C-alpha cells in the first residue's frame, strides 16, 4: 500500500467558471470545496445510474493529469512541494491553447483537445520530470496494480522510471467525465455530453495554471489545496 497523503499536479479550471461548474456538477463533487454536488436533473433522467457511471472520476475531482498521484519522498515536505509549484508556475513558458471537444478516450468520455498542441505536451513533460524528485518510488504492489503485462514496453519503462505509464510520448490530455463504458453504453452518453458541452460555447481554452491536489488517505477524495497561474513567456523581463 502506498503511503499517504498522496499529491497530484493537475490542470483544473478556475473555481466558478463555466467549465468548472460543468465538470463538477457532472461528477457530483467540487474539488475546490470538497463538497458533494447534486447531479443535473436532465442527466439523471437520461442515465438513472449516473452515480455509478461517474464513480471512478469522482474520487479525483474534475481535472486533467499533468503529474499523476504520488506520495512524498521521505526527505520532502508538503511546504517544499507548494514552493516548487510556485516556482514552476513563475517560469515563463508558452501557454497551451486548445480547442476543447468532448470525445471518447480509452473507453471513457472526456474533454480533450481537438488536435495535438505541442506546448501542452511540453507542459505535461516538464511537470513529469521537474516534480519527480518529490515522488516516493513505486512499491511492488503499486506497480502490480498498474498491470504492467498489459502495457507496451515503452509504457512499462515509463512506469518504472516516472511512476506512471502515460507520460511523455504516451501523454493524452483529458478532463475526465465518466468511467469506462462499453461501446453500446458509451455512444448515447457521448452524444448527450457533447450536447451539454456545446451549450457552454467554449471554443478556446488556455491551459494557463496548475493545481496541487491532495488525498489524505485511501478512502478520501482528492481536494485542491492551491493553484498557480502560469507565467506566459511573452512576460519575460516585465
pLDDT (0 to 100) of residue 87: 98
Domains and CATH numbers, the chain: 6-235 (3.90.1140.10)
CB-facing half-sphere around the CA of 81: CA atoms within 13 A: 30
% of the chain at pLDDT higher than 90:
90
Considering only 91-100, 137-146, 172-181, which range has the smallest mean pLDDT? 137-146
pLDDT (0 to 100) of residue 31: 98
Q: Is the pLDDT of residue 235 over 60?
A: no
User: Rounded CA gap, 129 and 116, in Å?
Assistant: 20
pLDDT (tens digit per residue) in 79-122 = 999 999 999 999 999 999 999 999 999 999 999 999 999 999 99
Cα dihedral 153, 167, 181, 5, rounded to 10, equals 110
CB atoms within 10 A of CB 228: 16
User: Rounded CA gap, 86 and 32, in Å?
Assistant: 18
Average pLDDT rounded to a whole number, residues 50-75:
97
Considering only 53-57, 147-151, 208-212, 213-217, which range has the smallest mean pLDDT? 147-151
User: Rounded CA gap, 110 and 87, in Å?
Assistant: 30
Nearest CA-CA partner of 166 in 128, 204, 112: 128
Backbone φ and ψ for 102, nearest 5 degrees, come out as: -100, 125
What pTM was computed for the model? 0.93
Amino acid at each position: 500500500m502506498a503511503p499517504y497523503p498522496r499529491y497530484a499536479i493537475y490542470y483544473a479550471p478556475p473555481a466558478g467558471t463555466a467549465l468548472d461548474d460543468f465538470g463538477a456538477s457532472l461528477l457530483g463533487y467540487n474539488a475546490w470545496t470538497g463538497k458533494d454536488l447534486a447531479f443535473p436533473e436532465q442527466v439523471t433522467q437520461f442515465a438513472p445510474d449516473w452515480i455509478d457511471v461517474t464513480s471512478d472520476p469522482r474520487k479525483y475531482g474534475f481535472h486533467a493529469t499533468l503529474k499523476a498521484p504520488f506520495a512524498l519522498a521521505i526527505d520532502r515536505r508538503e511546504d517544499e512541494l507548494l514552493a516548487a509549484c510556485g516556482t514552476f508556475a513563475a517560469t515563463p513558458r508558452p501557454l497551451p491553447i486548445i480547442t476543447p471537444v468532448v470525445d471518447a478516450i480509452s473507453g471513457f468520455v472526456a474533454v480533450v483537445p481537438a488536435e495535438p498542441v505541442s506546448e501542452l505536451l511540453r507542459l505535461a513533460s516538464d511537470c513529469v520530470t521537474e516534480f519527480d524528485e518529490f515522488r516516493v518510488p513505486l512499491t511492488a504492489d503499486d506497480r502490480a496494480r498498474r498491470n504492467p503485462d498489459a502495457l507496451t514496453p515503452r509504457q512499462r519503462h515509463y512506469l518504472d522510471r516516472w511512476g506512471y505509464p502515460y507520460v511523455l510520448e504516451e501523454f493524452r490530455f483529458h478532463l475526465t467525465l465518466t468511467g469506462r463504458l462499453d461501446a453500446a453504453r458509451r455512444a448515447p452518453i457521448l452524444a448527450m455530453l457533447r450536447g451539454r458541452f456545446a451549450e457552454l460555447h467554449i471554443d478556446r481554452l488556455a491551459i494557463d495554471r496548475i493545481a496541487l491536489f491532495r488525498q489524505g488517505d485511501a478512502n478520501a477524495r482528492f481536494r485542491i489545496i492551491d493553484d498557480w497561474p502560469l507565467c506566459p513567456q511573452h512576460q519575460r523581463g516585465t
